[in-house]
Chain A
Amino acid sequence: MSLISEGAEVRRPALAEPSLATVGDYIALLKPRVMSLVVFTALVGLSVAPGSLHPITAFTALLCIAVGAGASGALNMWFDADIDAKMTRTARRPVPMGRVQPGEALAFGLTLSGFSVVVLGLLVNVLAAALLAFTIFFYVAIYTMWLKRSTPQNIVIGGAAGAFPPMIGWAAVTGSLSLEPILLFAIIFIWTPPHFWALALYKTEDYARAGIPMLPVVAGEVVTRRHILLYTLLLVPVAIAPWPLGFAGAMYGVTSVVTGAIMLLLAWQVFRERRPAERACRNLFAFSILYLFLLFAVLLVDRGWGGLIARIAT
């Protein structure tokens, strides 16, 4: 049973009432902004992988990964409609607004999940499809249904779901895994907690109202700020690691060192903040998105760009 199902204010039309959902509502169920980051990190994994892949096969792989990520978002919105209705950030999503009925979101998510995994398996390779299926399962069943409502470590473990796409991209090309895609996984995995805790610090009331046991709600602000700093201290060397390990060149090295220093500075400002001021947390949250984007973009240019152009040219 859900911890927070009582008092949910999801607007449900009568069963016989025809749907007013537009195509835009269904696109919103796919969480396009999250999907764009997933596609980008998968593209990097695909581009830096050794070996060759026909551009149309690469496009198919990215399309399947994008649809699979969108399907996860739809299933997340189906299950979380009750808590989405209580949070200002999510209250205008299609299910809590009553524009899409929960059953429709469930059917949409399950259909797209099945299609994305089967098509990836049929047209690209089975390992990539298996990883995509596991990612959808992890995000929906492990994170959304279990961890999110039961532990303040929800996004620490659940962050793995968002970290898989570069591995899927790599597997689409090579049909195997190695240290390099695991390192890309580790960067996103360790990046996720400070990113979301910075958001949770200035949305604490929202999360508390919805009954989600985010770290600031359960352990308080001081503990959360300390955790943000500790995770950032761990993140920065892991993000630099592709350079000394020889997976990336000097351009990536310089970028990861400079942006890592800014991340540490912002995390320190959050840590030193004595009162619940939003500014430092907002700055860290916003920069963390840019940080991850820059790391992967530079890796794409530094390492994968040549291979990508060669693939398109052949």
Chain B
Amino acid sequence: MSIGLAMNEPANKDDGVVLTEAQKRARRSRSIAIAVSLAALVLLFYVMTLVKGPMILVRPM
């Protein structure tokens, strides 16, 4: 089957996973939490770099 033909086929309801509204909400909340966590990590590294300055590269035992 060519790619063009496959793209023109009508969507089959049995193909793939169709999320329920509850699953979509849960996924969205998880995605937001991951985004917030990553942003917080970036902010933490930024602030710590400002705090430590060049000493950021010095890691004493």
CB-CB contacts of A89-124 with B at 8 A, as 1s and 0s?
Answer: 000000000000000000000000001000101110
User: Contact between B48 and A20 (Cβ–Cβ < 8 Å)?
Assistant: no
User: Of A54-62, A139-147, A246-254, A294-302, which binds chain B?
Assistant: A54-62
Question: Could you say which of B23, B41, B45, B56 contacts A18, with CB atoms under 8 Å apart?
Answer: B23
**A183 lies within 8 A of chain B by Cβ:** no
User: Contact between B48 and A123 (Cβ–Cβ < 8 Å)?
Assistant: yes
A54: B residues at CB distance < 8 A: 51-52
**B19 lies within 8 A of chain A by Cβ:** yes
**A175 lies within 8 A of chain B by Cβ:** yes
Question: Could you say which of A18, A26, A127 contacts B33, with CB atoms under 8 Å apart?
Answer: A26
Q: List 13 A-B contacts (CB under 8 A).
A: A18-B17, A18-B19, A18-B27, A19-B26, A22-B30, A26-B30, A54-B52, A57-B52, A60-B48, A63-B44, A125-B59, A125-B60, A126-B60
User: Contact between A16 and B51 (Cβ–Cβ < 8 Å)?
Assistant: no
Interface residues on chain B, number (Cβ under 8 Å)? 21
B41: A residues at CB distance < 8 A: 115, 119
Distance of A56 Cα from B51 Cα, bound (Å): 8
User: Contact between B29 and A23 (Cβ–Cβ < 8 Å)?
Assistant: yes
Interface residues on chain A, number (Cβ under 8 Å)? 23
Using A121-B59, A127-B61 as known contacts, say yes or no to A56 and B19 having CB atoms under 8 A apart: no
- Closest residue of chain A to B45 (Cβ to Cβ) is A123
Instruction: List the interface of chain B (C-beta within 8 A of A).
Output: 17, 19, 22-23, 26-27, 29-30, 32-33, 41, 44-45, 47-48, 51-52, 56, 59-61
Distance of A135 Cα from B18 Cα, bound (Å): 42
User: Contact between B26 and A175 (Cβ–Cβ < 8 Å)?
Assistant: no
| A contact patch SS | helix
User: Contact between A22 and B29 (Cβ–Cβ < 8 Å)?
Assistant: yes
A34: B residues at CB distance < 8 A: none
Per the 8 Å Cβ criterion, residues 1-24 of A in contact with B are 16, 18-23
Question: Could you say which of A20, A26, A60 contacts B44, with CB atoms under 8 Å apart?
Answer: A60
Using A26-B33, A126-B61 as known contacts, say yes or no to A20 and B22 having CB atoms under 8 A apart: yes
Distance of A20 Cα from B26 Cα, bound (Å): 6
Distance of A16 Cα from B41 Cα, bound (Å): 31
Question: Could you say which of A57, A60, A119, A175 contacts B60, with CB atoms under 8 Å apart?
Answer: A175
- Closest residue of chain A to B30 (Cβ to Cβ) is A23
Distance of A54 Cα from B52 Cα, bound (Å): 9
B61: A residues at CB distance < 8 A: 125-127, 175-176
- Closest residue of chain A to B47 (Cβ to Cβ) is A56
Per the 8 Å Cβ criterion, residues 230-278 of A in contact with B are none
Distance of A26 Cα from B27 Cα, bound (Å): 12
A127: B residues at CB distance < 8 A: 61
B51: A residues at CB distance < 8 A: 54, 56-57
A57: B residues at CB distance < 8 A: 48, 51-52
Distance of A19 Cα from B29 Cα, bound (Å): 12
